[in-house]
Homo-oligomer: A and B are copies of this chain.
Amino acid sequence: MKKVKTNKRQLILDEAAKLFKERGFAGTSMRDLGAQVGMEAASMYNHINSKDEILETICFYVSNTYISHLTEIENTADSYVDKIKALIRLHIRLMVEDGAAVSVGNNDWKYLTGNKLAEFKEARKRYERGFATLIEEGIAAGEFQPVNVSVALFTILSAVRWVELWYRPGRGVSPEELEENIMTILLNGLAR
């Protein structure tokens, strides 16, 4: 019984992420969502409390995934090159495997309210600060070129974030090739 309930809840969350990505959080009603998952709005409330709760769950799933990986990476003894590679890989994988949730975390987080909004912004800052620190330490260690840290951070984040908008698996580039190519360009540069 518990299992079924959990699966239904997950199904609702997955379909909600897709609808939010497509129509935005504001443009999606619980009725739309019910139609999508094939449930009456009323019976969806056995699994979730509100549209806000769905948004929170999706956004914090994304931010927790990023932060737990970042923390893990920070604690390894790997080179800074490998640490940044691991972060780029994380972004691309999450985008390919869970694109709708990532899109909600990128675009619809602004509909979070009160504490949840503050908490999400804090998590984002923590992530960007941690990523920037790895770049900074990599420069200090002589592994990276002496670039401006903010420019490097946002260039990398921009390059990986847009994968969501143009990449479709099955159009000639496998997820592995995508990863490999983006890492090559960002770490080693396009020029030989």
- Interface set of A (CB-CB < 8 Å, partner B): 81, 84, 135, 138, 142-145, 147-148, 150-152, 154-163, 166-167, 172-173, 177-178, 181-182, 184-192
Complex: chain B residue closest to A167, CB-CB? B154
Copies in the complex: 2
Do the beta carbons of A188 and B186 come within 8 Å of each other?
no
Complex CA distance for A188 and B152, rounded to whole angstroms: 12
Contact among B145, B148, B162 for A161, CB-based, below 8 A: B162
Shortest Cβ distance from A164 into B: residue: B158
Known: A158-B162, A186-B185. A191 touches B148 (CB 8 A): no
- Known contacts A147-B190, A188-B189; 12 additional CB pairs below 8 A are A143-B191, A144-B191, A145-B189, A151-B173, A154-B162, A154-B163, A154-B167, A155-B186, A158-B158, A161-B162, A186-B190, A187-B190
Q: Ordered nearest first, which 9 A-B pairs have the shortest CB separation?
A: A158-B162, A189-B189, A188-B189, A151-B181, A159-B159, A187-B191, A155-B159, A148-B181, A147-B181
